[in-house]
Each structure stands twice: as structure tokens, then as C-alpha cells.
Structure 1
Amino acid sequence: MDYTSQGYDDVMGAIHLEGVLADRDAWQATRCSIGKAMEVIGTRSAMLIMREAYYGTTRFDDFAARVGITEAVASARLRELADAGLLERSPYREPGQRTRHEYLLTEMGRDLLPAVLALMQWGDKYLQDGKGAPLDLVENDTGEPVRVEVRGESGRAMPLEGLRIRPGEQYRARRLRRP
């Protein structure tokens, strides 16, 4: 598809910025959702803890051991992820032991999965020195490969050049209310 004929002629290989966003010198991304997300999961240990949560890890000692971090780092990251709403603490008690907490994925944590899988897929392609993916992500029922892709509502795969960003609905509504 020729995106230049549809107004995507600013920079090939870039997302088209629409309206007031087109002049990048006139605005700053102060409320950037990517920046906010990185504040929550922007450390290696946080991402690896989330990976382990997707693999079914729930106990503190298991997170620390499987991620290869100290108990202090595991404690800090698990607290941060729970405070942010990605994991929830749930008490459990084994016979003769004190009450402890396990960490369970929340809806917010499960909704992060496509981003984590996209990072895995990117790492498989570019960082495995041509050796291929160490793990295959497949459908449980069929065994068929699963991939993360950017798709429009129609289901069509979208290349970078086929995307545009415009001010969000809240911003457009505020602009209409101004005198």
C-alpha cells in the first residue's frame, strides 16, 4: 500500500502525527503512557518477576531464586508491582509456619502480557545470535505458533508507516469546551 498517497508523507518509517501533534516542537509528552508504564515496570527485575508470574510463580522465595535477585530486590519489586496493581498479595499459611503472602496476577497484570510477549518476540529475533528462539509460544489447544502483531480493528496487520497518532478524546473534548 502506498501510504504517501494517503497523507503519510512526513517521514517514511515513522508514525504520522496528526493535528496539533504534527508540530513536535509545540508540545511535550508530559502525560506519555509509555513513560508512565516504564515507571511501573521499567526495571529488568520487575519485567522478569512479571515473566515468572505468567509462568505460574507465586511465592516470594521462588521469584527471588528464578529471577536471580537478592531477597531485598525481590521484596522491593514485588511491593512495587503489588502497589501498582499488577500483582495482588494473598495470605497463605503452611502447617506449623507463620502466615506468608503469595503474589497473584491481577487483571492489570494479565493485560500487560502482550507487551511482555512482544519483548520476548523481539529478543528472539534480534538478540539470540541467529540461534533461534529458546522457547516457542504456542496455542494450548492446537500447538500452533502465537505472535504479537499490531493490527487494526479490521484485523489487518499495520506497518509503522500505516499508523497515525492524534490527540486523545479527552484532549479534543477540552479544546471544544474552551471559550
Structure 2
Amino acid sequence: MQRTSFAEMECPIARAVDEIGEGWCLLVLREAFKGARCFAEFEERLGIPPSTLTRRLAGLCECGILQRRSYQSRPPRDEYELTEKGAELLPVLLLLGEWGNRWLAPGGALIVPVEPKTGARIEPVLVDRATSKPIRAGAVGLGAGPGASKQLRTSLRAPVRLASAPEAMSSTSSGSDPGT
């Protein structure tokens, strides 16, 4: 069954999901960040069927997230490394992991990001670059960007606020106002 492509949708989330939204792709990226380079390393670490791995690696290379490089000619062997585009996905994966630890690990965090030299826990958050305020539901809206079509600019003439802040968030946000 052919899946629907989101590549032409006028939404950056849809376009990102089109490239990396399949579960195996995210796990391949996780392993690439952990140092996997060769097909056999990905296959062993993930327990992924070879045909699926071949497709995922090819797709990630095709969209410029990984690059494939030959490191041996006889027999032919390739390695895969993150591109700049791929490396910029690290915060996304770390935030996804933080969300998973909070909501899907009832016994406590499973794997946590740490500072490599000290082992001190790192707690990734998404913040606004200009104000350093955390980005939370109810505290951000969407507006049309410079690449938006006329139709999208019209529909986003006034910013669309994204979700009101749930009560649970305001009671667990260590006293900070989720609307700020």
C-alpha cells in the first residue's frame, strides 16, 4: 500500500513527517547519533529486517538527512553519516525522548540525556530564541511565513493560538505561568 505524501502540503510539520515520521526512520537516526555507521551496525542494534533498513537508509539519504559514502570497494561497503540537516534533528529526538519519559515510562525515566564529561542530567526544553521563554501549549500561535501562499497568508492573517494550556500543565510547571 502506497502511503500518502505530505511533501507538498503547506505545513512544515507535514513536510517533516513526510521525511522522518516513520518509526524506523527515527530509530535509525537515534542509532546514527549513537555512532552507528555501517549497515550491519544498524541491523544488529535495531533488529530491523534488512529490506526495511535498506529502504529507510535510502530514503534518509535521498532527502539529505544521511549521506552514504563508500569506504571499501572489494567487497563494496558503504557507511552512513549524518549531514548538517540530519544533525539538526538531535533536539527533536531529545525532546521526543523527554516526552516519552514523562508520559510513557510509569516506572521512571528510561534513558536520559547527560553532559558527556560529568554525567550530569540535561533537561532539554524548547525555548524562544529572542526571549528564552519556554514554548508551551497556549503560549504560542502560528502566523504565515515568507514562503506562504496567498491563501495561507489570508487564513493566518491573525495568528492562530495553539491549544489552551491544560490545567495539568499549569500545576506541574513549577509555578511559572504557562501563558507567558
TM-score normalised according to structure 1 size: 0.73
Offset of 1:43 from its aligned partner? 1.2
Structure 1 residues 53, 161: CA separation in 2 closer, same or farther (over 3 Å shift)?
same
What do residues 32-91 of structure 1 show as CA deviations (whole Å, max 9, x unaligned)?
A: 111111111121111100000000000001111211111111101000000010100011
1:14-163 correspondence to structure 2 within 5 Å: 30-93=9-72, 97-128=74-105, 130-152=106-128, 153-163=130-140
Offset of 1:141 from its aligned partner? 3.2
Instruction: Please tell me whether the aligned partners of residues 9 and 15 of structure 2 are also in contact (alpha carbons under 8 angstroms).
Output: no
- Equivalent residue for 1:22? none
Unaligned runs of 5+ residues in structure 2 are 1-7, 154-180
Instruction: Please tell me whether the aligned partners of residues 37 and 80 of structure 2 are also in contact (alpha carbons under 8 angstroms).
Output: yes
Q: Secondary structure at the match of 1:117?
A: helix
Q: Which structure would you say has the larger Rg?
A: 1
List structure 1 segments (4+ residues) > 3 angstroms apart after TM superposition.
Answer: 170-175
Structure 1 residues 45, 161: CA separation in 2 closer, same or farther (over 3 Å shift)?
same
Unaligned runs of 5+ residues in structure 1 are 1-28
Higher relative contact order (CA 8 A, sep 6+): 1
Structure 1 residues 125, 70: CA separation in 2 closer, same or farther (over 3 Å shift)?
same
Cα distance in 1 between the residues matched to 2:66 and 2:126: 26
| Higher normalized helix content (fraction of residues) | 1
Number of aligned residue pairs: give it.
144
Cα distance in 1 between the residues matched to 2:10 and 2:149: 15
Instruction: Please tell me whether the aligned partners of residues 30 and 93 of structure 2 are also in contact (alpha carbons under 8 angstroms).
Output: yes
- Equivalent residue for 2:167? none
User: 134-143 vs 116-125, which deviates more?
Assistant: 134-143
TM-score normalised according to structure 2 size: 0.73
